[in-house]
Amino acid sequence: ARLGDSADETAQARGFLAMALAANGNRDRALAEFRRAVPVLLSTQSSDGDEDNGRNIRSRRLRHILEAYIELLMEGLPREEAIAESFRVADAARASSVQRSLSESAARSAITDPALAALALAESATLMSMPGRVCSNGIPAPTRDPAWTAFVQEVRDASLQAYAAAKTAIYSLTKSLAL
């Protein structure tokens, strides 16, 4: 059987081609391939009838393709346009299991305030400790492992220290401008 442009398999292949093109510096063609693949991938996600394992593999592939697309957008487009498109893609993926990762990626890409970035990192640490959380490789986070718990606590502590330092810097700058 021949697959057409609207087939999920074709769209996945286009997504991987776009990733390779972007990695080789061919951004314009990569962007064009992503723009052909992403709408198909997002429209076929809820109609996927595979078993749970097949959906998990597809979700990981989709997440990698969409994250690469967002990364290319952030590198190659004007910031406002890239952020708008990133959120549009993340919003369209809302119904899938990759939505959480995409929303977080789009939000982190938009943060320019050091204090806000530190708070986002602290929130990430909280999310990393939640049962059922899946790592980017599709493997469940080892939330019951003492080493993982210690790592998450270190991330949380470091982010709160960064937040305190950013607040101090902002206060100092504000105070010096007021003089």
Q: So what's the pLDDT on residue 140?
A: 77
pLDDT tens series, the chain, 179 aa: 567 888 888 999 999 999 999 999 999 999 999 999 998 888 865 444 444 445 567 777 888 899 899 889 888 788 888 888 888 887 776 555 455 566 666 776 677 777 777 877 787 788 778 777 777 666 777 888 898 889 889 888 888 888 888 888 877 777 777 76
Quote the pTM value: 0.51
How many CB atoms are located within 10 Å of the residue 117 CB? 16
Per-residue confidence (pLDDT) for residue 56, from 0 to 100: 67
Q: What is the dihedral of CA 116, 119, 121, 125, to 10 degrees?
A: -160
Q: How far apart are alpha carbons 138 and 72 in whole angstroms? A: 22
